[in-house]
């Protein structure tokens, strides 16, 4: 599956649990374009897998993901792309989250350390999220002069409602603790530090013990009802992101982030 993603199948009751482990072994686990491709391929590898009922997605021991890799050479090349190439390249993120949301298997995220930006976008595309008590989430896109894309806003809206979604996305510097994430309904379970994966596997075992076809059909029904209007509501994600990425505020936001200073936005 590549350098960053490993898949293990045949776990749990009747071997119906699989684990997808995304770990760049650097304590940061940023989502480079290549990582996005490998994670998308991982999700798609289950399309014809009738033997797996549940997939647990986990990151490293210190981080689920730090979000999109602003230092990656391919990612930084976006600055020189014309609008056509940029729009095509920006489809990597939505393609990833859609692949995970549309999996027939139940998906569970095990979150340790931090889960930031694109990591949150991936997490909310899953069916369930288990978060370690000392972990946190953050959505920094607006603070970088960007918008939250990858169809994340409607998914967060379904989970938390409008006010909490605005709070999480607009207040870009705010860390969302595990306790807050649980209170806001952004995660379904909080585990002891270092035990998020174990708790996710325990939940997976409960799901795997249920009739596989009934589970898959129920997931499909719930998702179709809950997300029926999401494409309509977020079809401009990519174009909004592309537009925002061409602003002076975006340039300032990224330079300030890389230079570890406070940005000065001017609405340009």
In the predicted model, what is the mean pLDDT of the chain? Answer: 89
Is the confidence at residue 135, as pLDDT, over 60? yes
Is the confidence at residue 1, as pLDDT, over 60? no
Which range of 66-80, 131-145, 180-194 scores highest in mean pLDDT? It is 180-194
pLDDT band at 149 (very low <50, low <70, confident <90, very high): confident
pLDDT digits (tens, 9 = 90+) for 31-66: 998 999 999 999 999 999 999 999 999 999 999 999
Tell me how far apart the alpha carbons of residues 251 and 245 are, in angstroms, rounded to a whole number. Answer: 7
Give the pLDDT mean for 129-139.
97
pLDDT band at 259 (very low <50, low <70, confident <90, very high): confident
| pTM score of the predicted model | 0.88
- Give 5 or 82, the one with higher predicted confidence: 5
Tell me how far apart the alpha carbons of residues 140 and 154 are, in angstroms, rounded to a whole number. Answer: 17
Bridge pairing between strands 128-132 and 189-191: parallel
CA-based nearest residue to 11, from 50, 53, 41? 53
Element (H, E) at 169: helix 162-170
Q: Which two tokens stand for residue 103?
A: 């999996």
Strand ranges in 69-175 using DSSP code E only, listed in sequence order: 106-111, 114-116, 128-132, 136-138
pLDDT for 100: 98
Of the chain, the percentage scoring pLDDT greater than 90 comes to: 63
Angle among Cα 160, 56, 88 to the nearest 5 degrees reads 70
pLDDT band at 77 (very low <50, low <70, confident <90, very high): low
Is the confidence at residue 76, as pLDDT, over 70? no
Strands across the sheet with 189-191, in order? 5-11, 17-22, 54-58, 106-111, 128-132, 189-191
pLDDT band at 233 (very low <50, low <70, confident <90, very high): low
pLDDT for 240: 74
Helical packing angle, 237-245 and 248-258, nearest 10°? 70
Helices (H) and strands (E) in the chain, counts: 13, 12
Cα Rg for the chain, rounded, in angstroms? 18
């Amino acid at each position: 599956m590549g350098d960053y993603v490993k898949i293990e199948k045949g776990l749990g009751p009747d071997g119906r649990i699989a684990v997808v482990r995304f770990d760049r072994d650097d304590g940061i686990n940023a989502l480079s374009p290549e990582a996005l491709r490998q994670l998308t391929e991982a999700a798609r590898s289950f399309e014809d897998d009738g033997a797996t009922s549940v997939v647990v997605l986990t990151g490293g021991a210190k981080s689920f993901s730090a979000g999109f890799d602003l230092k990656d050479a391919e990612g930084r090349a976006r600055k020189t792309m014309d609008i056509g190439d940029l729009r095509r390249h920006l489809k990597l993120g939505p393609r990833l989250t859609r692949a995970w949301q549309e999996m027939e298997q139940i998906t569970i995220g095990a979150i340790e350390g931090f889960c930031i930006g694109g990591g949150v976008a991936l997490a909310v595309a899953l069916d369930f999220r288990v978060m370690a008590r000392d972990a946190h989430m953050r959505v920094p896109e607006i603070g970088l002069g960007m918008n939250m894309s990858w169809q994340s806003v409607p998914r967060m809206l379904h989970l938390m409602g409008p006010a909490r979604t605005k709070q999480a996305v607009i207040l870009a510097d705010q860390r969302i603790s595990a306790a807050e994430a649980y209170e806001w309904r952004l995660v379904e379970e909080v585990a002891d530090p270092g035990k998020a994966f174990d708790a996710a596997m325990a939940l997976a075992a409960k799901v795997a013990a249920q009739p596989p076809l009934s589970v898959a059909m129920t997931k499909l029904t719930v998702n179709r009802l809950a997300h029926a209007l999401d494409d309509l509501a977020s079809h401009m994600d990519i174009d909004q992101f592309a537009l925002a990425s061409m602003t002076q505020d975006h340039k300032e936001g990224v330079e300030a982030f890389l230079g570890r200073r406070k940005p000065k936005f001017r609405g340009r």
